[in-house]
Amino acid sequence: MKTISILKNTVQEYAWGSYTAIAELLGKNTPSVRPQAELWMGAHPKAPSMVKYGGKWVSLLELIKNNPKDILGKEVAQKFNNTLPYLFKVLAAAKPLSIQAHPGKTQAISGFEKENRLGIPIDAYNRNYKDDNHKPECICALTPFWALNGFRRVSEILLLMEKICPQGLAGELDDLRNQPDKQGLKNFFSALLTMEPERKKQVIDDTIKNAHRFSENDNLFKWTIKLYNEYKADIGIFSPILLNLICLKPGQAMFIPSGALHAYLDGVGIELMANSDNVLRGGLTPKHVDAPELLSILNFEERDVNIIASKKSKDFEMIYPSPAEEFALSVISDNKGIAYKSPVKRSIEIILCTDGKALIRDIDNNIAIDLDRGVSVVIPASVQNYTINGKATLYKASVPL
């Protein structure tokens, strides 16, 4: 494959998804029959994108296996073992996702090998590691986007917990007060995860009563109540108190490193991540929660969240800086019209149109494709020159070189 091609992508239907957002983007009937949570663009074995090649639809995963240097580029093929290193998504959360974290690279390799040795089927309910890769990720808001990201400062946690649960967790709060560091925070969070059901119910009941007293002008307590209404006796209702609560404005982004406890609560966004499906959950879910394994991969450093604004990369293109070596997210747009020329040095790119209309043209192969809303294309590294013209908003996934 040596030219630009349209992608046919899988929509993942999860219970927390939207009945309208992805369907509207793709020009389908709304509401959809089932909640649509994620649109996957890439070559993950679970749901690789399909490419029109040789008169038929072929998976991008197979095409890369057969032509890694042409599609990925020599440098990327060599660095990432002939695989596409990123997974590109549209994420549409109408309900909160589970509290979760992703392992680091070394942890993923070890965990994947261990579960393989134990003979745990890859699709088993209690399987933690679906592959041997880490999963740093970047989320960019298309609508106002509510999320939780990383532990807030211990001093804030103590202040907030004392407001809504002063008696029920008195012992644990005393311990955290006496050890206000990452080990103390780990001990406190572990105590919440492993609490006996009867005591947990009492603590949650008391917390919700107090949360109503403070919720009128405070989003932290509003979200605590919302999570309770959705998940009842789940210890994850404390997550807005423990974690940084963020509302990204459209166009803003944030980076989530391996080991950061987080959850997406509400909104539509563009998500770009390392090509992995490894998730360890900690609450707000009926799915498997492996508390010891989660505790072993979490980063308990208190931190502030860095909101990422796009920065000019070249004419008509703005990039979202991140430390990831697997991916780079950028947006190509201009109110007066795009006249974009491809970078001189580039790798495999996937472009998605989220608004407007443009024309992408492969100069050497004399191929032109309309980029209407919801249309995505893959541009192999072997394409020497392409241009984009029109009035549109286009999100681009690439690999830093």
What is the SS3 assignment for 387? strand
Rounded Cα gap, residues 331 and 9, in angstroms: 20
CB-based contacts of 53: which residues, under 8 Å, 6+ apart?
Answer: 1, 5, 63
Q: Which one, of 146, 138, 136, 145, lies nearest residue 239 by Cα?
A: 146
User: Per-residue DSSP letters for 30-83?
Assistant: SS-SS-B-EEEEE--TTS--EEEETTEEEEHHHHHHHSHHHHH-HHHHHHTTTS
**Other Cβ atoms within 10 Å of 85 Cβ, number:** 23
**Other Cβ atoms within 10 Å of 40 Cβ, number:** 21
Backbone phi and psi for residue 310, each to the nearest 5 degrees, phi listed first = -70, 145
**Other Cβ atoms within 10 Å of 254 Cβ, number:** 24
Q: Which one, of 380, 348, 345, lies nearest residue 364 by Cα?
A: 380
**Other Cβ atoms within 10 Å of 202 Cβ, number:** 14
Contacts of 163-167 with CB under 8 Å at 24 or more apart are: 163/210, 163/214, 164/207, 164/210, 164/211, 164/214, 164/221, 164/224, 164/241, 165/203, 165/206, 165/207, 165/210, 167/206
Q: Is 281 a catalytic residue?
A: yes
The catalytic position among 34, 199, 281, 346 is: 281
Q: Which one, of 81, 95, 127, lies nearest residue 280 by Cα?
A: 127
CB-based contacts of 358: which residues, under 8 Å, 6+ apart?
Answer: 338, 370, 371, 388, 389, 390, 391, 392, 394
Q: Looking at this protein, which amino acid is placed at residue 76? A: V
By annotation, the residues acting in catalysis are 281
